[in-house]
Structure 1
Amino acid sequence: MECAGTQSPDRVRTLVAAPHEEYRLFGSALKRLPQAVVVAATDNGRTALEYVRRMRFDLAIISIPLAHANGLTVARQALHTSPDIRIVMITAIDDPACLLEAIRVGVHGYLSTTASIDELADAIPRILAGETIFDILISTRALRRLVTSGCSH
């Protein structure tokens, strides 16, 4: 676990739950947001679940594939524990089931692991301000697959 920052209201207490190679990308994007303070970071889903049960976060950046627990499970628990938390899922998965589950869970962002640091640094403040941002390419591919997989009347 990484600990940093103060408890001041202008700070965005952040959980990052992602594999190490993805964490480096998020860390670079978060460095551009001086109010963001990474309070906890892990690549383990069980550990992330424990963090959301014990700590308060304003923002959680979560990868869907995590060791020992799915990122959507972590997101669901985080929103149950802290309804005001803003959840950003980071994924390369364009599976319609994952996209629909993310929508059902109530995540606020669904961004690609191939997003640039600039794209992430732009999206995070917008999500914190109340916008919902879903990666257009992932969403379009998932919706096309959903439509062509037999949705007919």
Structure 2
Amino acid sequence: MIRVLVADDEPLVRAGVRAVLATDPGIETVAEAADGHEAVEAVRRHRPDVAVLDIRMPRADGIEAAATLLSLAPGTGVVMLTTFGEDPYILRALDAGATGFLVKSGPPEELISAVHAVAGQAAYLSPKVAARVVAHLTARQAATGRASEARQRVDALTPREREVLALLAGGLTNGRIGRQLGMTEGTVKGHVSSVLRRLGVDNRAAAAVLAHEAGLRVTP
């Protein structure tokens, strides 16, 4: 059972998220919060597997809450809920360690997919969010020359590690990566750990961003 915290300052949104999650028998909403401070306290008390956070909330926004709760409970994955026009917040959330990003206007099934992916230690970017993030990364590459550095780091990986990175960046869980590459989940976990270490990043979302920056062909 995947245990989930839902945090949003709008009661109607919280109710909608809770209702969508309730359609999956493998997911249980164990706590709710109306702001970032409440979200951190709820994580402290309930230790959920996944926290679904509105990216903009009073007192402490979703990004502040994500950074705090990931330090407090590293085993809790974070899915951020965003609206259009919040691209700078999305990039900040990536830097804070969030691994899932959804647009509130997206289809309900994306929420279910994101919770399962993040609970399985995978990254999940909804297609609408991914397109905007990649656009920003492309602009940042042109401005800072990060693409060349990213390519050097990705090229230093073994061919198998690059295959794993391409699938990881496509949002696949370790189990799905293993099935696609004919490896056990434990072997995939070892490759993922090696990829993160050799790329010099802390989490799968950061590795996915680096893969896009390097121009690696991502496999969904």
TM-score class, shorter? 0.7 to 0.9
Q: Map 1:21-36 to 2 at 5 A.
A: 21-36=12-27
- 5+ long unaligned stretches in structure 1: 1-10
Letter in 2 for 1:99: I
Q: Using the alignment, how far apart are the partners of 1:51 and 1:93 within structure 2?
A: 27
Shift of 1:111: 0.7
Which has the higher Rg, Structure 1 or Structure 2? 2
Answer yes or no: is 1:15 the counterpart of 2:31: no
Q: Using the alignment, how far apart are the partners of 1:24 and 1:112 within structure 2?
A: 16
Pick aligned residue for 2:83 from 92, 101, 112: 92
Greater strand proportion:
1
Q: Using the alignment, how far apart are the partners of 2:109 and 2:87 within structure 1?
A: 26
Greater helix proportion:
2
Answer yes or no: is 1:151 the counterpart of 2:125: no
Give the secondary structure class of the aligned counterpart of 2:81.
strand
TM-score of the aligned structures, taking structure 1 as reference length: 0.79
The CA RMSD over aligned residues, in Å, is: 2.2
Name the structure 2 match of 1:106: 97
Shift of 1:79: 0.7
Name the structure 1 match of 2:195: none
Q: Using the alignment, how far apart are the partners of 2:117 and 2:106 within structure 1?
A: 15
Q: Using the alignment, how far apart are the partners of 1:124 and 1:53 within structure 2?
A: 19
- Larger RCO (CA within 8 A; separation ≥ 6): 1
Name the structure 2 match of 1:53: 44
Q: Using the alignment, how far apart are the partners of 1:86 and 1:57 within structure 2?
A: 8
Give the secondary structure class of the aligned counterpart of 1:151.
helix
Q: Percent identity?
A: 25
Farther off after superposition, 64-73 or 46-55: 46-55
Farther off after superposition, 135-144 or 102-111: 135-144
Q: Map 1:54-133 to 2 at 5 A.
A: 54-133=45-124
Name the structure 2 match of 1:5: none
- 5+ long unaligned stretches in structure 2: 146-220
Q: Using the alignment, how far apart are the partners of 2:110 and 2:133 within structure 1?
A: 20
Residues paired across the two proteins, number: 142
Summarize the Cα distance change of 1:151–1:94 in structure 2 as closer, same or farther, 3 Å threshold.
farther
